[in-house]
């Protein structure tokens, strides 16, 4: 059921009430609001959303005398959508707790849903870790879509190539050529690329060191090994691992909801359901081209202000491709993404 539409005055009142709840949670004071669902509620407390089940959430209580603990909570009416990583205010009851306010987000990874409405995937993250592998086949167009979303939301992206042990198998020519080329291409652009294997442990220590003080969200196609990586980085996670679909070399979905994990080496990881497509309909053409960081030195230098960077004379981007300063594949991906915006 959709939430009822609120007037500006109602929104301001709700905002003021939630601000009072946040202040009480910070000061450890008891609120005097009417109880939720006729149950006695305790004082406001701080917590972090670990996962969202729709009508309920699981959060990590930050004020437990015995250390962090997980609590299942209802969501009070008029609370804005909650996602993994959100910091919230909640109140305990005799049964389930109740989330009564959400803190402001310092960052969020957003994605349009099937209706075109922008939805958050994860909140308060420092890094978007884009995972790909030799199998299922990696596509630079999908990687670039993630990169554009990260750049548009000012969240630092990194690339993780998983299953690099597959490149050492006999007769891996096609996969090896393509994956090695992707690694060279994105390192040429300036992105940090980690080459790891959840099977052999290769490159894991370097990745652990990078994640040590960060909150990162893992994104990528189903089957690239995100769950296997989490199991290696945090063995207590016990994430289900799926095999590739027989005959299709595509991943099967093992993660259905986003979930936050604390890493024993430091840092936090948010696993997200596998995504084969990443819509960018919420971005303008200007935002899309800004998402290609390697284009930046040449933007605004074309002779014609309405240059489409296709075959126009004196196009700075086309000249940069000819000079091998910009990859032709990146410009091709840009055109494909621009053409798909209307279709999406």
Model pLDDT for residues 152-199, shown as the tens digit of each residue? 999 999 999 999 888 766 455 555 578 999 999 999 999 999 999 988
Dihedral, 212, 213, 215, 216 alpha carbons, nearest 10: -40
Reported as a pLDDT band with limits 50, 70 and 90, residue 38 is very low
CB under 8 Å to 257, separation ≥6 — which residues?
Answer: 51, 52, 53, 273
Pairwise CA distance, residues 328 & 196, whole Å = 27
For residues 260 and 160, membership in a common domain is answered with yes
Reported as a pLDDT band with limits 50, 70 and 90, residue 300 is very high
Pairwise CA distance, residues 133 & 131, whole Å = 7
Residue 93 pLDDT greater than 80, yes or no: yes
For residues 119 and 207, membership in a common domain is answered with yes
For residues 207 and 71, membership in a common domain is answered with no
pLDDT digit string (tens) for 122-146?
A: 999 999 999 999 888 889 999 999 9
Average pLDDT, the chain: 82
For residues 115 and 82, membership in a common domain is answered with no
Question: Quick check: bond before 136 cis, omega within 30?
Answer: yes
For residues 239 and 339, membership in a common domain is answered with no
Residue 18 pLDDT greater than 60, yes or no: yes
For residues 262 and 315, membership in a common domain is answered with no
For residues 151 and 21, membership in a common domain is answered with no
CB under 8 Å to 105, separation ≥6 — which residues?
Answer: 86, 120, 123, 124
Average pLDDT over every residue of 66-85: 86
Q: What is the pTM of this model?
A: 0.80
Q: Print the domain residue range for 124.
A: 108-271
Q: Is residue 179 a contact partner of residue 160, using CB atoms and an 8 Å limit?
A: no
Is residue 279 in some structural domain?
no
For residues 158 and 43, membership in a common domain is answered with no
Is residue 277 in some structural domain?
no
Q: Which two tokens stand for residue 320?
A: 């940069």
For residues 135 and 216, membership in a common domain is answered with yes
pLDDT at residue 184, as a whole number: 95
For residues 15 and 95, membership in a common domain is answered with yes
Is residue 190 in some structural domain?
yes
For residues 256 and 137, membership in a common domain is answered with yes
CATH number at residue 44: 2.40.50.140
CATH number at residue 313: 1.10.40.50
Q: Is residue 298 a contact partner of residue 257, using CB atoms and an 8 Å limit?
A: no
Q: How many domains would you assign to the chain?
A: 3
Question: Which of residues 85, 102, 119 is at a domain's end?
Answer: 102
Q: Among 9-13, 275-279, 323-327, name the most confident range.
A: 323-327
For residues 267 and 301, membership in a common domain is answered with no
pLDDT at residue 174, as a whole number: 52
pLDDT at residue 112, as a whole number: 82
Is residue 278 in some structural domain?
no
Reported as a pLDDT band with limits 50, 70 and 90, residue 27 is low
């Amino acid at each position: 059921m959709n939430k009822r539409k609120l007037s500006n005055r109602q929104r301001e009142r709700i905002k003021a009430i939630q601000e009072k709840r946040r202040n009480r949670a910070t000061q450890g004071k008891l609120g005097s609001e009417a109880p939720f669902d006729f149950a006695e509620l305790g004082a406001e407390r701080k917590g972090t959303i670990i996962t969202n089940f729709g009508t309920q959430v699981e959060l990590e209580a930050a004020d437990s005398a015995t250390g962090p603990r997980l609590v299942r909570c209802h969501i009070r009416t008029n609370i804005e959508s909650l996602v993994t990583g959100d910091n919230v205010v909640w109140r305990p009851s005799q049964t389930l707790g109740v989330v009564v306010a959400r803190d402001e987000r310092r960052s969020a990874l957003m994605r349009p849903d099937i209706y075109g409405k922008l939805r958050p995937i994860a909140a308060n993250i420092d890094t978007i870790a884009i995972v790909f592998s030799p199998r299922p086949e990696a596509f630079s167009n999908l990687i670039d879509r993630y990169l554009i979303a990260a750049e548009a939301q000012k969240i630092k992206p990194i690339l993780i190539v998983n299953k690099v042990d597959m490149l050492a198998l006999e007769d891996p020519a096609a996969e090896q050529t393509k994956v090695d080329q992707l690694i060279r291409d994105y390192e040429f652009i300036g992105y940090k690329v980690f080459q790891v294997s959840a099977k052999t442990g290769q490159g894991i220590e370097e990745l652990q060191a990078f994640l040590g003080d960060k909150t990162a969200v893992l994104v990528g196609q189903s089957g690239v090994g995100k769950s296997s990586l989490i199991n290696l980085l945090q063995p207590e996670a016990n994430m289900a691992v799926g095999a590739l679909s027989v005959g299709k070399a595509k991943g099967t979905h093992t993660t259905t909801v986003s979930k936050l994990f604390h890493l024993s080496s430091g840092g936090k990881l948010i696993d997200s359901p596998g995504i084969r497509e990443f819509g960018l309909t919420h971005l303008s053409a200007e935002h899309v081209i800004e998402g290609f960081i390697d284009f930046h030195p040449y933007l605004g230098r074309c002779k014609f202000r309405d240059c489409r960077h296709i075959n126009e004379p004196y196009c700075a981007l086309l000249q940069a491709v000819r000079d091998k300063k910009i990859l032709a594949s990146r410009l091709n991906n840009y055109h494909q993404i621009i053409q798909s915006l209307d279709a999406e």
